[in-house]
A and B are shown apart, each in its own frame.
Chain A
């Protein structure tokens, strides 16, 4: 079954404690991306990756890091989380750029609260 898997699904953490949200896809997709969703703002792109070792900033990259060492994995790293990073996070993937017939697949979302 085609899947994008995120972990953890729910997390409460404290300010400044480094955390990693993992994302893995089993479809051999080249394109992977992280989004955050906030009330009144909709989904906003944090980082995306076109392929292994190729990453680029989205609209709201501040406070986040990513890496793409393997094609299937695209972890999101919060080095020093702050309360304004409390949000619902989604990982997504597609075969290539999300156009030209490439369907986007989303993970189930990760609810992150920073206190």
Chain B
């Protein structure tokens, strides 16, 4: 079992739909990152969370430390949101990151 599990692996939505991507992890963490990988391959950081909730535009990220679970929500989805979304965790010790396999999101017009 991977330390970081994402679901779903693939997600297709219609423009305007509310989207949720989930990330579960099995170790204690000091931080969780949500990343977006564009079709061309580049990766950008969306959020870094250690507790609670963060919002940026139409994106919302939440984390429940007790349940070892995080969600990334996209409101009013748009075709330009089509990308791979990756969850990564940093453990409580050391400095390495462990990544989920990613969720491929396709938003159709």
Total interface residues on A, CB under 8 Å, equals 30
A-side contacts of B48, CB under 8 Å: 98-99, 101-104
CB-CB contacts below 8 Å: A86-113 with B: 88, 90, 92, 97-106, 108-109, 111
B97 touches A45 (CB 8 A): yes
Name the CB-closest residue of A to B47.
A103
Known pairs A45-B96, A45-B97; A106 contacts B33 (CB<8 A):
no
B interface list, Cβ under 8 A from A: 30-31, 33, 35, 41-45, 48, 50, 86, 88, 90, 95-102
A interface list, Cβ under 8 A from B: 31, 33, 35, 40-45, 48, 50, 56, 58-59, 88, 90, 92, 97-106, 108-109, 111
